[in-house]
Chain A
């Protein structure tokens, strides 16, 4: 039953990666930008949740909603201030800007509150359940449930609502979408808002699950979520979810075999292998530059 236990831990971790990866993949799908700031949005979400719980005494769900709202606004502001001007510049300029904004946010947060970590308060009742012989805390079960519900809501938004339709149209062909009367700017902002809200949720969930947060916490999960997005095929929403879960499970397995120090390396090795052998990811289609 040991492996079943590990599988469950992997899925819990994977659900966090998946939530962050969704934002990466949505933004990439729509403006072809690797939004490095996404890891920082995740961090801001985590801190918002922390302050909401610790200082205002809010419960888990109100904090989650608050943090998602703050992150949605934050994501849109970043898009409007920094990225909007870069739509017609080179990919490299956009990537460097993203890295720059990401570092800026990290160090402004450190400047304001210092680099010391914070212990996340315990907001969820924690009982250990015994299901099919494996030990599952009610907390991680609830977290997994929340992640899955959010993913289902996202799927609904993308496929059943008007804004979702507009998002798909813009990511397919922005010029044609514009000619069809779609407000491309608003659609891009909406994408950032939704993606960032998911990262915010992931931030709170991460805090509750791992109990320790700090201003540089976004870097590694951010990169890993990006790897998950590439693994599933960047720009493809179900791909990000699958990529997140696969990565979470692989990491847990690597740790379980006693190589926990190599855990981070495993993710990067997966990234490089996938980039070399199947750069379009598990679900992606190959595309070649037109000559």
Chain B
């Protein structure tokens, strides 16, 4: 923990027409950590992701990535700085092939220009070949290489979820944000997903921040957990500390009992 934090969020908040969706949010992520972000419905979890990735500009506070201020940057610039994400409601490029979905995310790593592509110069072929090779390697890890030519919309649901993670990885992140990756999966699929997340974290040297409703998944793999309720951070700590935190129990009462879930 003596490393510098990769992501340092301090006192970040956002207003939507007078309504404070997130208020005074703090978070420190250190390299290699896997942190969970939980909270009841409407607590502002996805809003936090949207703030971190530049979809929304915070009305107050500061987001620092590797010591560099990134609030207000356009989403594609944030991605190029090293934060990549998946979406709660899967957002794939449906009509494009599985392979092309991943290639799109490799876009900013390639260098060949529009001119070289239009006139099919040498750089175009080198660049495209490199992208293709990288994309296929990545798809193999996610066991999607056999369906690389299928349209993304034709994949089964679990496959679409995995493709979205593969695509996020292709964008070359240091920090990966996963928005409810196990939503809609059965227990078997969820288990496989947990293994996959652990594996890619090692393989790609990732820091991961995860929103999840499936408490089993969060408690099982996260080292630390932050709990959000009504836009406010109400607890922070190890899974055990969070589980027994009075405010957390209070926030979840009436919605679900944490330990019995899943």
Physical contact A–B (CB less than 8 Å): yes
**Is A291 at the interface (CB under 8 A from chain B)?**
yes
Chain B residues in 8 Å Cβ range of A291: 46, 50, 55, 87
Tell me the bound Cα distance from A291 to B54 in angstroms.
12
Digitize A251-291: 1 where CB-to-B-CB distance is under 8 Å, 0 elsewhere: 00000000000000000000000000000000000000001
Which residues 79-115 of B sit at the A interface, judged by CB distance below 8 A? 87
- Chain B: minimal CB distance from A286 (Å): 9
In the complex, how many angstroms separate the beta carbon of A291 from the nearest chain B beta carbon?
Answer: 5
- Closest chain-A Cβ to B41's Cβ sits at a distance in Å of 15
Q: In the complex, which range does the number of interface residues on chain B fall in?
A: under 10
**B55 cross-chain contacts in A, Cβ below 8 A:** 291
Q: How large is the interface on A (under 10, 10 to 19, 20 to 34, 35 or more residues)?
A: under 10
Within 8 A of A (CB), among B208-237: none
Q: A235 CA to B50 CA in the complex, in Å? A: 29
List of A residues within 8 angstroms of B87 by Cβ: 291
Alpha-carbon distance A291/B55, docked complex (angstroms): 8
Bound-state CA distance A291–B87 (Å) is 8
- Bitwise interface map of B from 44 to 82 toward A, beta carbon under 8 Å scored 1, else 0: 001000100001000000000000000000000000000
Cα A143 to Cα B200 in complex, Å, equals 73
Task: Give the nearest-CB partner of B47 in chain A.
Answer: A291
Select from chain A the residue with minimum beta-carbon distance to B16. A288
Would you give the shortest CB distance from A249 to chain B, in whole angstroms?
32
Q: Tell me, in angstroms, the Cα distance from A291 to B88 when the chains sit together.
A: 9
Q: Which residues of A contact B50 (CB under 8 A)?
A: 291
With the chains together, A113 CA to B50 CA distance in Å? 58
Q: Give the distance to chain B from A174, nearest Cβ to Cβ, in Å.
A: 20
Give the distance to chain B from A62, nearest Cβ to Cβ, in Å: 49
Contacts of B46 in A (CB 8 A): 291
Which B residue's beta carbon lies closest to that of A286?
B17
Q: How far is the CB of B211 from chain A (nearest CB, A)?
A: 13
1/0 per residue A91-105: CB within 8 Å of B?
000000000000000
CA separation between A291 and B91, bound complex, in Å? 10
Shortest CB-to-CB span from A118 to chain B, Å, is 49
A291–B46 Cα gap in the complex (Å)?
A: 8
In whole Å, how far is A255's beta carbon from the nearest beta carbon of chain B?
Answer: 41
CA distance A291 to B53 in the complex (A): 11
Cα–Cα distance between A291 and B49 once the two chains are bound (Å): 10
A291-B14 Cα distance, complex, nearest whole Å: 15
In the bound assembly, the distance between CA atoms of A240 and B55 in angstroms comes to 32
What's the least CB distance linking B248 to chain A, in Å? 26
Bound form: Cα–Cα A93–B1 in Å? 55
User: A291–B179 Cα gap in the complex (Å)?
Assistant: 11
CB closest chain-A residue, reference B50: A291
Question: CA separation between A291 and B177, bound complex, in Å?
Answer: 14
Q: A285: shortest Cβ distance to chain B, in Å?
A: 8
Bound together, the chains give a CA A291 to CA B52 distance in angstroms of 13
Give chain B's interface residues, CB within 8 Å of chain A. Answer: 46, 50, 55, 87
Sample of 4 A–B contacts (CB below 8 Å): A291-B46, A291-B50, A291-B55, A291-B87
- What residues of chain A have their CB less than 8 Å away from a CB belonging to chain B? 291
**Shortest 4 CB-CB distances between A and B: which pairs?**
A291-B55, A291-B50, A291-B46, A291-B87
